[in-house]
Amino acid sequence: MTLIAAVCWGIMSPIAKVLSSAGISLMSVMAFRALFVVVAVGPYIYFTKGSGVFRPDRDMLCFYLLSGILSVVFSGGGFLMSLKYLSVPEALILHYTFPLVTLLGSLYITHEKPTFLQVVSGFLIIAGVYLGMVGGEKTFSGLSVPGLMWGGLAIIGISGQALVARRVCKGQETDQLVLLFFAHLLGGIVLALGKSIIVGWEDILNFTSPLFGLMVFQAFCGSLLAYGLFYTALKYLPAATVSLLCTLEIVVAVGLTSLLLKQPPSIQEIIGCTVIIIAIVCATVRTSGPEDQNM
C-alpha cells in the first residue's frame, strides 16, 4: 500500500509543474484535490456507514482537524508551492529529508524505536538524492528562500501526519475512509480560507479542459488513492517504515520527468535512484526481537 502511494505521489511533481507553468496556483490545485476527495468519499460513507460518522466526538474532531492541516495544508500545499520556486529535483531533495525527521519523532511520539537498518536507510536516501540530483552541474547555488520555506513546511506536514496518524490508528479502531474524508474536508476549508485572504482566486480564469483533466487525474491519484493507502498502511507499519518506503516517489518522479522531456536520465540520476532503491530494501528488512514480535 505504501509503495503504491509513493508511485501516485511521484506522478504529482511533473503534473504540478505543467499546471504551474499554465498560470494555475498550486494552492488552487490542492484545494481542488481536497474537494474531489470530499465529494467522492462523502456519499459512499453516508450510504455504507450511516449519518452517525458525520458527528464525531470532540477528541476525534480535533484529530481530524490536525490531520487535515498537516496533510492538506502543510504537506500537500507546502510541497506543491515549493515546486513553484524550486526545480523538481531541488524540491525532492529538500522534501525527502523527512524520513530522518520521522525516525527521530518516532522515539517520542509513537514510542517505536527504529531499527539500525532503518537509520542507515534514512541516510542512504539523502546520499542517493545528493548523488542523483546535486552532483555534477546541479548545485544549491541560488536556491529560492520561499521555496525552502514552503519545503520546510511540507517536511513538518508529512512527518507530523505520519506520526500523529500512526499513534491514533495503532491504538484504536479508526476508519481510514472517515479519516480521509474529514482530513480533506477540514484541511481543505483551512486552505481555501487562507488562499482567499492571501492571494485570491484570479488564477481560475486560466483553467482549460485539458488542465482540468490533469487536475482530476492528480486528485484521484495524489489524494484519494495515495492518502487512502497511506493512512491504511499506518495501521500495520510504524511511521518510520512508511516514511522510508514513500521515498520511492523520487525514483518515479525522475523517471516521469525524463519521459515527459524525452531525455534519458543521466548516469548520476541512475546511480542516485539505485542507492534510493537499496535504501528502500534496507527499510523493509525485518529483525527478530521484541519490537518485531509486537508488530
Q: For position 181, what pLDDT does the model report?
A: 93
pLDDT, greater one: 57 or 142: 57
Q: Do 155 and 95 touch, CB atoms closer than 8 A? A: yes
- Quickly list DSSP for 145-160: HHHHHHHHHHHHHHHH
* C-alpha cell recorded at residue 284: 523493509
Average pLDDT over all residues of the chain: 82
Q: For position 172, what pLDDT does the model report?
A: 63
Interatomic CA distance for residues 79 and 114, integer angstroms: 26
pLDDT one-digit tens code per residue, 153-165: 989 998 998 888 8
Helix (H, G, I), strand (E, B) or coil at 14: helix
pLDDT one-digit tens code per residue, 226-280: 888 888 888 888 888 888 888 887 787 777 777 766 777 778 778 888 888 888 8
pLDDT one-digit tens code per residue, 55-69: 888 888 898 999 889
Would the pTM of this model clear 0.75, i.e. be above it? yes
Q: Do 179 and 67 touch, CB atoms closer than 8 A? A: yes
